[in-house]
């Protein structure tokens, strides 16, 4: 039921259709979600892509989600935008200056997690598969492997799908742990528990 707008300047410049400008996103989007690599210089720079100039163009008071790289969103500019009511709230998994994250931003966001988006068993398996496939392509080897994922931890799950989803993974728990001990950012990642998607 959502209308999805996409912005990808490199792909648009190669002639792919279906992309719009950042200005269009700033005007029309109720949710802004960033999924871009961090590029510090050049034509396709993404370092501080969401900066004070971008936030001043917002017209819908959106929610912001950043699961790309912390430096894609300027922390101070986001805080200012949130304080001025230009951004309703944010979900942040990646932070500028990790592991020394902004306590002020952590306190303001709806959900803040310690850069664990790829830390699910499924995410790790997918990354492993990609590495193995690239290795096999490079060395001209047959990709003959099978990655077995662990079962979900044993638990009685609700029949209600909305409840069941949060039983399988509730991001608020990761947020509570990070808020309680932001100085343990790296440890929270390093000792991350088994989670399936």
Asked if 73 and 50 touch (Cβ cutoff 8 Å), the reply is: yes
Based on the residue annotation, tell me whether 98 is a catalytic residue of this protein: yes
User: What are the backbone angles phi and psi of residue 179, rounded to the nearest 5°?
Assistant: -65, -35
Asked if 50 and 34 touch (Cβ cutoff 8 Å), the reply is: yes
Asked if 34 and 74 touch (Cβ cutoff 8 Å), the reply is: no
Q: Which residue has the tokens 């279906």?
A: 18
- Considering the candidates 48, 71, 96, 115, report the single residue annotated as catalytic: 115
- Considering the candidates 48, 69, 71, 96, report the single residue annotated as catalytic: 69
Based on the residue annotation, tell me whether 115 is a catalytic residue of this protein: yes
Identify which of 44, 42, 39 has the alpha carbon closest to the alpha carbon of residue 72. 39
- Considering the candidates 98, 129, 177, 195, report the single residue annotated as catalytic: 98
Catalytic residues: 69, 98, 115
């Amino acid at each position: 039921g959502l209308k999805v707008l996409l912005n990808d300047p490199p792909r648009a410049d190669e002639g792919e259709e279906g992309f719009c400008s950042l200005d269009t996103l700033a005007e029309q989007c109720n949710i802004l979600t960033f999924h871009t690599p961090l590029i510090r210089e050049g034509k396709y720079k993404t370092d501080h892509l969401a900066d004070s100039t971008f936030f001043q163009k917002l017209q819908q008071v959106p929610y912001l989600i950043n699961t790309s790289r912390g430096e894609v969103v300027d922390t101070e500019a986001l805080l200012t935008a949130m304080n001025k009511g230009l951004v309703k709230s944010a979900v942040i998994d990646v932070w500028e200056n990790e592991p020394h994250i902004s306590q002020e931003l952590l306190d303001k966001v709806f959900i803040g997690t310690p850069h664990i988006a790829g830390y699910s068993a499924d995410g790790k398996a997918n990354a492993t598969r990609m590495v193995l496939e690239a290795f096999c392509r490079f060395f001209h080897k047959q990709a003959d492997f099978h990655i077995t994922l662990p079962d979900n931890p044993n638990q009685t799950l609700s029949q209600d799908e909305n409840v069941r989803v949060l039983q399988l993974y509730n991001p608020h728990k990761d947020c509570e742990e990070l808020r309680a001990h932001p100085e343990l950012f790296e440890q929270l990642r390093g000792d991350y528990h088994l989670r399936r998607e």
